[in-house]
Every structure is written in structure tokens, then in C-alpha cells.
Amino acid sequence: MTVLAVSSVSKLFPGVRALDQASFDLQAGSIHALLGENGAGKSTLIKILTGVYTPEAGTLMVDGQTRKFATPRDALLAGISAVHQERNLISYFSAAENIMLESLPNARGMINFKQMHEQAAHWLESLNVGIDPRTPVSKLSVAQMQLVEIAKALAQQAHILLLDEPTASLTPHETTHLFELLRQLRDNGTALVFVSHKLEEVFELCDRVTVLRDGKNACQSQPLAELDRQQLVKLMIGREEQIPERPDTGRHSNDNPDSPALDVRNVDTLSGHRDISFSLKKGEILGLYGLVGSGRSEFAKALIGLDTITRGEIRLDSIPATIKDVRTALAQYRMGYVSEDRKSEGLILEHSITSNIAITIWDDLKNSLRLLGNRRETAAAQPHAQRLQVRTPSLQQQVGNLSGGNQQKVSVAKWLAARASVLIIDEPTVGIDINTKNYLHELIWQLASEGTAILLISSDMPEMTLLADRILIMNDFKLTGEVANTRDYESVSQAIMSTIHQQDTTLEQH
Ligand SMILES: Nc1ncnc2c1ncn2[C@@H]1O[C@H](COP(=O)(O)OP(=O)(O)OP(=O)(O)O)[C@@H](O)[C@H]1O
Ligand SMILES: [Mg+2]
């Protein structure tokens, strides 16, 4: 049964035709993949279906009736709920308040907090995540926020559920639970739309697929079983995928094991890390893996001064380092940090693409952003934006108006411009399409081969096994193991998961 029919929908933004007569239909009890490169129009379509944007042309039919949504509330009342790509949580509210915001249980005008916490806890438990509903959202990691967003959408119990890159920040572990739940919803008749750049997930979960290219249909509501990965990629990018090879540069030849680029000794932090020790060599890509909530990103933040180190020592190039903030990290110690949280730390959304990329070269140019001439900024930013194929009508465009993946490209580009000697990269390819992802992997290899020491945090297991030389496992704010990377995906991911699982069972026994 068709519950949603989208016909010839078009949407214009200044200088961009985001959607050009796009169509698809959605069936009850099915999971429909919506795919396309960064900037293809996926999120714009989701926002039209949820009343955030009004289309210039085209029609929407929900349950056989033509509909026009003026507000998100209208769409919700028609039974459509969504997890949007950018986070929309209110950070000073608790997880529970956010989840139940649209449907707060109340008696005579008073909010029933006990009931609210119970119901929120129910939705969080259904996702099998250990988040206390009372936690303020500002205290959660990006992945945990994503899970709260999902719980919030589930709490609406809508019959049409639109998920715009719901797994972008999740590890395969959390994703597995989410998928079990989505399959249950499907079996109970819910119609789902699933946007993702991770094609393995798409093949695992979805039954039909619509591909957008430059806002137009490259295919429409086609059974997924008719397509293989190669065909799907070709529909998305318009040509065959080119998979990069790792350059063989013999990069460890002139290593001096006594002076690692980054040496971390017995470090404790205020947020709860205990006795963290490891060293990172010049030209090495060291992976840091762990489940959501294990403390990986928190440790990266401690390294660049965003959390307090309460014990132990950090040495950069053998020199004990005291790092206050991101700027000293870069200016004094040549250590850079690509944040996973582009919305609050990575980018200044109201500024242009060039200003954002040029931020990290402030100190090099001995100038402040305001004084930095537009021409010099553009000259510094352009090669990077070009190499990463940031899709935009102009480099003066506000970053906040770019598609999610293109924002991520800008965030990474600015650190490539910084020429750090130690680079901490947290989830570099979240939300980035296949083509650019391959290209970013090449860039990371290239930086390493030029001698940059790289600490890589990634929840994307294929990415981890492709890039890292060895992989540290973090569990509950401690390092609990190290896995040598043989580059064989199956055996490495198994070794990682069993290291994590071992720890889980010992924890349970206590
Ligand atoms: N509010 C806006 N103002 C101006 N342009 C916009 C706005 N929102 C989206 N666009 C543009 O519309 C196009 C489609 O963007 P959209 O966010 O739908 O892409 P997407 O397919 O979701 O990409 P991604 O995979 O990166 O999330 C892009 O070129 C984007 O820059
Ligand atoms: Mg998007």
C-alpha cells in the first residue's frame, strides 16, 4: 500500500536547484533507501516532507490525500516524523525532555516528570543504549545525541518515519540494535525512508531505492535486489567508482622510536580516563576504537586542552606539553584537531567557506580573521575546497547553507590547510559520500607519508581497517587492548569486537 507519493517536486535556493522534479513512492511495511552524493538533495527532500521547506512545484500525497505542509507540526499530525541530519536537540534540556517534547505527559497542565522519565527510558532502552534520561543533552557525545534524536522520533509513533543519516556517528554495534528495531517497525507496517552513505547498511536493511543526482531522479523506487553495489554507485556518481590504493612509501624507515611525535604517559582526566598510555610515531596512523560512550572523543579533547588532565604527562616531540586550548595546541605544538562535532566546535556556520578554512592559518598569517583580506583568504582556502569538491555556488557562501557532507568537507579542509605535525582526526568521513571519502582516505595516507603523525578516531570499521597501522581499543575510559591491523576486514573487526566483548563480560562479573 502506498502511504506516501512524491511527484515532480522542485526546490530552488539562491544559485542552487536543490530538487528538480524529484519523485518516489513509499510503501507501508517497507524500508526505502534515499541515496545520492553530498548536495544531491536528500535532506532538502526530507525537509519538504516534514514541512520545514515548501516546494516551488510538485505534489505530496499522504494516505491517498494531497497534502501541503506549512509547518513541521502539520507533517507530524499527518503521521510523519523524522530524524534530521543536523541535530535539533535543546542542549540545556535533559534527554527525556527532548524525547518527550512533542508529547509531554501532563495532568491538569502540570508536566508529569515521573511518567516522562519512564517513557523516555522506554524508548532509550528499546535502542539498547545506556543513557540516563535525566542527563542534560549538553553532556552527551555526538553519537549519544544521535541516539536521543532517534528515540525522539520513535516516541512520536508515526506511521511514516524518515531517517536522514541516523547511523552517521554510530559504531556497527549500536547500528545493529537500531536495525533490529527498524525491522520490527517495518514488520508492524511502518513505512521508513533511510538515508545513508554507508552502502553496506543500505543493502542490509532496505528493500527499495531512490537515487538523486543533482536534484533529479537517477532511479526511482527500484527494488534493491535488482542492483549491485557497483551499479548503485554508478547511479549516484554518474560513472564507475575509483578505489584508491595506499601509496607504498616505506614511511617508517627513518623512525626514531625514542622520540615519538606524541607520547602519552599514565594520563588521568577530569572526565574519567584512567592511566592512558600510548605513543604515536611520525608518519603513523594510530586508530582509536571503542563503542559509543567509551570515551574516545573525550580523550581527544583532553589532548588539546578541552578537558583537564589530572595526572600523567603528554610529550610532543619529547617536549612536555601544557595545552590550554586548540589555538595553543596548533601555535605552540603543531597539533591539530578535526572535531567530530562540526556544529558546535568545528565550524562557524554564519561565516563563509573561505573564512572557515582560513581560521587555522591565522597564526601563520599573523593576522586576525577580521583583518585578513578577502583575497588572501580565498587564495588559501580555494585549493583545499577544490580538492575536496565542496559543492557550492560560491566560496563566499555561508557554511550553514551547505549540505551536511559539504560542511564536513570544509571542516576537514581547514585542518589540511593548517599543516599540523600531529593531527587528531575524529570521525573524518561522517556524512561524506563515497567519492569524497575515497579521496579523503588518499589525503590521510598522503599526510602520513609526508610525516604527519595521525591519531584516527572512527566508528566506521571498514575505514579503520583501511587506514590504521594499529588500533587501540578504549573501553569505559581505559585502554583495554591493541589490535595489529592486518587489513583483513573480517579478522580485524572480529579481533576488535572480541577485545571489547571480553571487557564487557569481565565488567558484568564484578
Ligand atoms: N538553506 C539553504 N540555502 C541555500 N542552499 C541550500 C540550503 N539548503 C540546501 N542548500 C543547497 O541545496 C543542495 C542540496 O542540499 P541537501 O542538503 O539537500 O543535500 P544532501 O543530498 O542532503 O547532501 P549530504 O549528503 O551532504 O547531506 C546543496 O547544493 C545545498 O548547498
Ligand atoms: Mg543531507
> What letters, b where the CB count within 10 A reaches 16 and e where it falls short, cover 454-483?
bbbbbbbbebbbbbbbebbbbbbbbbbbeb
List residues bridging with 26 in a β-sheet.
Answer: 4
10 Å Cβ neighbour count for 177? 15
Whether 321 and 425 map to the same domain: the answer is: yes
Distance 37 CA to ligand 2 centre (A): 9
Domain that holds residue 370: 262-509
Alpha carbon 169 to its chain centroid, in Å, reads 4
Whether 370 and 296 map to the same domain: the answer is: yes
First to last CA, the chain: 51
Q: What does the chain come to in residues?
A: 510
SS3 of residue 279 by DSSP: strand
What pTM did the predictor assign? 0.84
Tell me how far apart the alpha carbons of residues 65 and 62 are, in angstroms, rounded to a whole number. 5
Answer with the one of 184, 204, 237 that is the final residue of a domain. Answer: 237
Task: Identify the CA nearest to 278 among candidates 434, 101, 480.
Answer: 480
List residues bridging with 474 in a β-sheet.
Answer: 479
Q: Using an 8 Å Cβ cutoff, are 272 and 295 in contact?
A: yes
Q: Which helix (H) or strand (E) holds 354?
A: helix 353-358
Whether 205 and 294 map to the same domain: the answer is: no
Whether 100 and 135 map to the same domain: the answer is: yes
Domain CATH for 117: 3.40.50.300
CB hemisphere CA count around 260 (13 angstroms): 17
Give the count of domains, the chain. 2
Whether 203 and 269 map to the same domain: the answer is: no
Task: Identify the CA nearest to 147 among candidates 133, 161, 159.
Answer: 133
Answer with the one of 201, 221, 237 that is the final residue of a domain. Answer: 237
Tell me how far apart the alpha carbons of residues 30 and 225 are, in angstroms, rounded to a whole number. 14
The ligand placed nearest to the CA atom of residue 34 is 1
Using alpha carbons only, how large is the chain's radius of gyration in Å?
A: 23
Ligand 1 within 6 A of 44 CB?
yes
Whether 294 and 158 map to the same domain: the answer is: no
Whether 130 and 9 map to the same domain: the answer is: yes
AA letter at 56: E
Whether 205 and 291 map to the same domain: the answer is: no
Whether 42 and 102 map to the same domain: the answer is: yes
Ligand 1 within 6 A of 35 CB?
no
- Domain membership flag for residue 283: yes
CB hemisphere CA count around 262 (13 angstroms): 29
Whether 90 and 136 map to the same domain: the answer is: yes
- Domain membership flag for residue 252: no
Ligand 1 within 6 A of 36 CB?
yes
Tell me how far apart the alpha carbons of residues 17 and 10 are, in angstroms, rounded to a whole number. 8
pLDDT tens for the chain, 510 residues: list them: 999 999 999 999 988 999 999 999 999 999 999 999 999 999 999 999 999 999 999 999 999 999 999 998 899 999 999 999 887 888 888 999 888 887 766 666 677 788 888 989 999 998 888 889 999 988 888 888 889 999 999 998 899 999 999 998 888 888 998 999 999 999 999 999 999 999 999 999 999 999 999 999 999 999 999 999 999 999 999 888 777 777 665 455 455 555 799 999 999 999 999 999 999 999 999 999 998 889 999 999 999 888 899 999 999 999 999 998 877 888 888 898 887 766 555 455 556 666 655 555 434 433 333 333 455 555 666 676 777 777 777 777 776 777 778 877 777 777 776 778 999 999 888 888 888 888 888 888 888 988 999 999 999 998 999 999 999 999 999 999 999 998 888 899 899 988 887 755 554 444
Answer with the one of 237, 252, 281 that is the final residue of a domain. Answer: 237
Ligand 1 within 6 A of 403 CB?
yes
- Domain membership flag for residue 370: yes
Q: Which helix (H) or strand (E) holds 251?
A: none
Tell me how far apart the alpha carbons of residues 472 and 479 are, in angstroms, rounded to a whole number. 7
Mutate which of 11, 13, 46 for ligand 1? The one with the most ligand atoms within 8 Å of its CB, which is 13
- Domain membership flag for residue 42: yes
Quote the cell numbers at residue 452.
604527519
List residues bridging with 398 in a β-sheet.
Answer: 352
Whether 388 and 477 map to the same domain: the answer is: yes
Whether 273 and 211 map to the same domain: the answer is: no
**Helices in 40-192 by DSSP H: which ranges?**
42-49, 72-77, 95-100, 113-126, 142-155, 172-187
- Domain membership flag for residue 276: yes
